């Protein structure tokens, strides 16, 4: 009886080019990146802060009481330069109560005010006239009471609060036009216009198109915290995190693969039981807690074990030998790598053990033994190849997971990487940096899944031929 290895196929099928399969998968990459950019753009627009005001704060422009008109003029000029007075997307779905130029009203709070009034009363010409009278009254410096009430009205869309504010200035002669505009807006309400939809095409002159073309040029915007380009800040933080996560990923697979295979090979032995206990214990210990303990005990002289440096990746002197550079880097990265690696190490080894146990019970393993192969040859030539599908699946998820896990690790060990940059940017509400790092994390996920698909095809030609799904 002839028993064939499960992934052995006839020679003509094995000679099918992998390049065709890889190119077909690469065709999905632009579409995935387009969706990812759209999600990040929506997230950025949903942020509570005003990007124009934040940019003005960077440039040292502060709102004042006596220069309100100058501040407003500067705000509108900067909003136009940054493109925030453009429509958000290529198309907009609204109704007859809203104009197709609503995006020109800046800042966002005023645009939301006008939108709410239009939804409430449905008569855009009257809503527009009321809004213009509120703007005019807000700059009538000859009457301080009118100015104060008008600026509060810029934040009021509730009828009760509007009427309460108007009652305060009802006796002022300068408020007559504002009161008339409000009365006409309320008296000539036409909510039936809300029932008629309107689809507006804005073309390529919109915010998302600018954002997308900026991404293609490598322009990720400007940081709110210090005014530096976001791409420059990420480029400065990327090498350290790439080195940390690259070493961690290599260490995880170098140690977890042999352990998982030999745990399955020596199942139900003392070695398997102790290895199972240690991997479960490692998987259950929080990495940030272990990192805190290691940083306290092994990087400070308080406990007499000041064995490792506590900050940075180490400064390598110019002209130093590779051995000196490696020794300096290793001293700084040893503890962070251990804290990042052990949860993934336990996870990978447990999954590989489970997959290898299923393969060891299959007929082709018994046939291999009957042909005279040793246990190590069977394990590495046959079992490992068939049990390695979970490793490829996990590789696609480990790339973004390591970046997310390095946020706390870099904070605890004072490592200036992307995790530390993400933490500092999030606490400072520096949204351009945060959204750009989210975009990079999503890009790593897409690339990881693409590599996993190509890895499936490398291990099993039937995957690229569409004969069976990967196991």
pLDDT of residue 8: 46
25 & 150 share domain? no
Asked whether residue 38 is domain-assigned, the answer is no
285 & 140 share domain? no
- pLDDT score of 106 more than 90: no
Domain boundary among 163, 186, 217: 217
213 & 325 share domain? no
Name the more confident of 2 and 20: 20
pLDDT of residue 63: 66
pLDDT of residue 458: 78
- pLDDT score of 468 more than 70: no
Asked whether residue 339 is domain-assigned, the answer is yes
CA distance 354 to 260: 8
Range of the domain at 233: 11-29+227-464
Asked whether residue 248 is domain-assigned, the answer is yes
292 & 179 share domain? no
The string of pLDDT tens digits covering residues 276-329 is 999 988 888 888 889 888 888 888 877 777 788 877 777 777 777 777 778 888
209 & 262 share domain? no
249 & 197 share domain? no
- pLDDT score of 1 more than 50: no
- pLDDT score of 437 more than 70: yes
90 & 15 share domain? no
Distances (CA, A) of 197 to 68, 95, 221: 38, 4, 35
Domain boundary among 217, 241, 268: 217
- Across the chain, mean pLDDT equals 84
Asked whether residue 2 is domain-assigned, the answer is no
The string of pLDDT tens digits covering residues 34-75 is 999 999 999 888 887 788 887 787 777 776 545 677 888 888
pLDDT of residue 64: 57
Number of domains into which the chain is organized = 2
Name the band, by pLDDT with cuts 50, 70 and 90, for residue 129: very high
- pLDDT score of 2 more than 50: no
Asked whether residue 445 is domain-assigned, the answer is yes
Give yes or no for a contact between 433 and 425, defined as CB atoms under 8 angstroms apart.
yes
300 & 348 share domain? yes
The string of pLDDT tens digits covering residues 335-381 is 999 998 888 888 889 889 999 999 998 999 989 888 888 888 889 88
**pTM of the entire structure?**
0.80
436 & 294 share domain? yes
Asked whether residue 52 is domain-assigned, the answer is no
pLDDT of residue 208: 94
Asked whether residue 23 is domain-assigned, the answer is yes
Place of tokens 């939804």: 119
446 & 359 share domain? yes
CA quadruple 293, 294, 299, 301: dihedral sign: positive
Asked whether residue 54 is domain-assigned, the answer is no
- pLDDT score of 226 more than 50: yes
Domain boundary among 162, 192, 217: 217
Name the band, by pLDDT with cuts 50, 70 and 90, for residue 466: low
386 & 340 share domain? yes
pLDDT of residue 301: 79
Which whole number is the average pLDDT over 221-241?
Answer: 88
204 & 259 share domain? no
CATH of the domain at 293: 1.10.3720.10
- pLDDT score of 158 more than 90: yes
């Amino acid at each position: 009886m002839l028993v064939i290895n499960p992934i052995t196929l006839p020679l003509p099928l094995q000679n099918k080019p992998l390049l065709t399969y890889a190119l077909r998968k690469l065709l999905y990459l632009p579409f995935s990146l387009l969706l990812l950019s759209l999600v990040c753009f929506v997230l950025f627009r949903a942020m509570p802060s005003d990007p124009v005001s934040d940019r003005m704060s960077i440039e040292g422009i502060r709102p004042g009481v006596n220069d309100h008109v100058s501040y407003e003029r500067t705000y509108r000029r900067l909003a136009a330069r940054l493109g925030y007075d453009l429509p958000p997307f290529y198309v907009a779905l609204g109704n007859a109560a809203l104009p197709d130029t609503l995006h020109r009203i800046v800042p966002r709070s005023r645009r939301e005010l006008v939108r709410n009034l239009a939804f409430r009363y449905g008569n855009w010409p009257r809503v527009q006239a009321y809004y213009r009278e509120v703007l005019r009254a807000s700059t009538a410096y000859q009457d301080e009471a009118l100015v104060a009430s008008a600026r509060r009205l810029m934040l009021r869309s509730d009828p009760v609060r509007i009427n309460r504010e108007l009652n305060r200035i009802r006796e002022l002669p300068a408020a007559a036009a504002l009161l008339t505009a409000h009365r006409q807006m309320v008296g000539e309400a036409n909510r039936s216009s809300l029932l008629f939809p309107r689809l507006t095409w804005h073309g390529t002159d919109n915010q998302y198109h600018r954002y997308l073309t900026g991404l293609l040029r490598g322009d990720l915007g400007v940081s709110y915290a210090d005014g530096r380009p976001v791409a420059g800040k990420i480029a400065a933080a990327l090498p350290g995190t790439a080195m940390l996560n690259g070493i961690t990923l290599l260490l995880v697979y170098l140690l977890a693969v042999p352990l998982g295979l030999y745990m399955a090979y020596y199942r139900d032995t003392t070695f398997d039981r102790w290895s199972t206990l240690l991997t479960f214990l490692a998987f259950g210990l929080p990495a940030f807690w272990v990192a805190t303990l290691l940083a306290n005990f092994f990087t400070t002289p308080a406990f007499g074990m000041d064995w490792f440096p506590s900050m940075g990746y180490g400064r390598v002197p110019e002209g130093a030998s590779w051995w000196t550079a490696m020794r300096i880097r290793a001293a700084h990265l040893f503890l962070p790598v251990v804290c990042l690696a052990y949860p993934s190490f336990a996870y990978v080894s447990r999954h590989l053990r489970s997959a290898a146990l299923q393969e060891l019970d299959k007929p082709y393993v018994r046939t291999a033994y009957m042909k005279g192969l040793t246990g190590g040859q069977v394990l590495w030539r046959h079992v490992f190849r068939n049990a390695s599908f979970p490793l490829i699946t996990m590789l696609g998820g480990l790339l973004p997971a390591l970046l997310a896990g390095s946020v706390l690790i870099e904070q605890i060990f004072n490592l200036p990487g992307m995790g530390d940059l993400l933490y500092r940017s999030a606490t400072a509400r520096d949204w351009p940096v945060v959204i750009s790092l989210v975009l990079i994390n999503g890009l790593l996920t897409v690339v990881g899944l693409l590599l996993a698909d190509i890895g499936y095809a490398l291990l099993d030609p039937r995957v690229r031929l569409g004969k069976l799904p990967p196991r």
